[in-house]
Amino acid sequence: MLAYITIAVCAIWTVTSFILTSINCNPIAFFTQGLEVCGNITWRWLVIGVFDIFTELLIFFNAIYLVAGLHMAFRLKVIVILAFSIRLP
């Protein structure tokens, strides 16, 4: 169930971040006139970055939760967890 919730959160966040980056910002005007046409784009990227960190942590803790219940050697569990920890900010 946790995996499905994680997938849903990541999917919703993908769409939301796309909308946040493109709202009130004409892509053609952005490249011809610069950042002034898009308003405060720094604030948007800050919000996106914070939620990206949240989703990465959610994926990491999801991996820990799923691996903890597996019947395998502790060393192999650590390897799997380390593979997911590479993406941590």
Walking along the chain (89 residues) 10 residues at a time, the average pLDDT comes out as 87 86 70 69 82 88 89 92 83
Task: Please state the domain count of the chain.
Answer: 1
pLDDT recorded at residue 8: 92
Helix axes 41-68, 74-85, angle to 10 degrees: 170
pLDDT recorded at residue 73: 94
Range of the domain at 75: 2-85
Residue with tokens 């769409």: 15
pLDDT recorded at residue 30: 65
pLDDT recorded at residue 84: 83
pLDDT recorded at residue 76: 92
- In whole angstroms, give the CA distance from residue 29 to residue 24: 11
